[in-house]
Amino acid sequence: MKEKLSIILGGGRLRLLIVIVLLLGGGVALKSQSYTDTLSVYFRQGKSTFDRSYRGNGERSESFVRYIHDVLVGHEDATVKGIRFEVSCSPEGSREVNERLVAARAESIMKWMQGQLPLERVPYEINTTLDPWTDLLSMVESDENVPYREEVIGVIGGLIDGRSQKSELETLRGGEPWRYMLSRHFPSLRRFEMSVEVEVHLPELEIDEEALRADCERTQLPMTVPLESFPRYDTGLASVSPMKYKTPKDISLYVKTNGVALGMLVGNVCVEVRLPDSPWSINVPVYYSGLDWFRVTTKFRMASFLLEVRYNFPGVEGLYAGVHGGLAWYNFAFSGDWRIQDAGGNSPALGGGLSVGYRITPFKRVPALGVEFNAGLGVYSLKYDKFYNEPNGPAAEKGIEAVKCIPDALGISLYYRFDNVKGGTRR
């Protein structure tokens, strides 16, 4: 006969499955048991960057990393035997494009995972799928809403065994089934799967049948034991203790400089922090210039900073909208009759407004390097002095107060993105 003990741990979900085969008149020697867990990460169309805010990637990866970390670090009786990576793409791109995309996705996730877990000595293999027709067929067969479903199944079957061409599926019934699958099923094909095989080593003990029966009757095994509610459980076969490990929250950090401001001889730097597992980010640009524009009657001197909260739209990669507050000291003259300066040099403009922007990553060899376009409009309370625009020109009017709507953000910025920043360091 067989008795089975299954202990499922809450939190990281370390599953120990111990199968005990009792021999007549004796016992069994327990050595080890292996099992596998899998993480799936999804990519946006045509993208190879690991986006934690897309389709729950961040939440799944954090839970998975916590679990594997507990196994690698916290359990001396458990080891990772090997890792298998499966990388696939959706079929709308050409084979050449998909080959590059699959390779870039594998590299992106490998770099991220190597920064999270001590996997240097763990053997692994990487498999790629450029023609995911078998997976697509399974999706279509389980979706009764696919237009002309039976015809689609027939064409995909032909693609699997080499009787059909992809163009037949693209043009079938005017492309209606293809457009349906593009929006409903293709996103699930753009994925990276990481399967980890864990081996649990158990002490070699001889357990007689009567002792095991008594344990099972006393504990009503097999059963599920939540880790948080059962601090320590000792079956006499294996002892399991809770692992207390708090996974650090990963953030992305952008460091930028605004080319438009530099062209106006305004030095600037900006830092944006992308909050973990969230579409929100905090952006803080700082500007300073104490220079004239080649003559004393032309200048754009200023010292300012903005505090901006941005929402990065999950459905449109790179697009964001923000709300901001700003503070600025200023001294402006443009070769006209007047020079404008904040009153007494200590009455900064104060206000805030809205902004919108878009990020692109045109540098394929350096995916962390990108360009950001942004514009913003704000309402500011001003108190300023008006001077004659000449060397040491006297004041014409002082303490002028006004509320004005002005463009307060305009930029074409170069940025560099640091991923997986923890505690102020880059991993």
Q: What is the pLDDT of residues 134-190, one digit of tens each?
A: 999 999 999 989 999 999 999 999 999 989 899 999 999 998 999 999 988 999 998
> What pLDDT band is residue 216 in, cutting at 50, 70 and 90?
low
Q: Is 410 helix (H, G, I), strand (E, B) or coil?
A: strand
Between residues 326 and 192, which one has the greater pLDDT?
A: 326
Q: Which of these, 149, 159, 146, 191, lies nearest to 56 by C-alpha position?
A: 191
Token pair 């163009």 is at which residue?
167
Number of residues that this document lists for the chain? 427
Where would I find the H helices in 116-255?
A: 133-141, 149-161, 166-171, 176-184, 186-189, 209-219
Same domain, 258 and 360: yes
Q: Answer whether 310's CB lies under 8 Å from 321's CB.
A: yes
- Cα–Cα dist 69/78, whole Å: 11
Domain that holds residue 319: 251-426
Which two three-digit tokens encode residue 64? 């998975």
The total of structural domains in the chain comes to 2
Q: Is the pLDDT of residue 221 over 70?
A: no
Q: Answer whether 307's CB lies under 8 Å from 286's CB.
A: no
Give the CA distances from residue 223 to residues 10, 11, 216, 311, 362, in Å, rounded to whole numbers and listed in that order. Answer: 13, 17, 10, 45, 54
β 349-360/338-342 pair status = unpaired
Compute the C-alpha angle 185/188/191, nearest 5°. 150
Same domain, 218 and 289: no
Between residues 222 and 4, which one has the greater pLDDT?
A: 222
* Residue ending a domain, choose from 232, 247, 262: 247
Residue type for position 134? T
> Burial level of 103, CB count in 10 A (0-12/13-18/19+)?
middle
- Cα–Cα dist 219/263, whole Å: 75
> What pLDDT band is residue 3 in, cutting at 50, 70 and 90?
very low
Same domain, 221 and 239: yes
CATH of the domain at 404: 2.40.160
What sign results for the dihedral spanned by CA atoms 422, 424, 426, 427? Answer: negative
Question: What pLDDT shows up at residue 426?
Answer: 38
* Residue ending a domain, choose from 247, 281, 305: 247
Quick check: is 36 in a domain? no
Which two three-digit tokens encode residue 419? 């991923």
Same domain, 256 and 343: yes
Q: What is the per-residue DSSP string for 340-355? A: EEEGGG---EEEEEEE
Quick check: is 183 in a domain? no
Same domain, 399 and 269: yes
Give the DSSP letter of residue 265: T
Same domain, 345 and 210: no
Quick check: is 51 in a domain? no
Which two three-digit tokens encode residue 128? 């790629």
* Residue ending a domain, choose from 216, 247, 278: 247
Average pLDDT over residues 271-283: 88
Question: What dihedral do alpha carbons 422, 285, 371, 324 form, nearest 10°?
Answer: 100
Same domain, 219 and 285: no
How large a percentage of the chain has pLDDT more than 70?
75
> What pLDDT band is residue 225 in, cutting at 50, 70 and 90?
very low
Q: Is 47 helix (H, G, I), strand (E, B) or coil?
A: coil
Quick check: is 155 in a domain? no
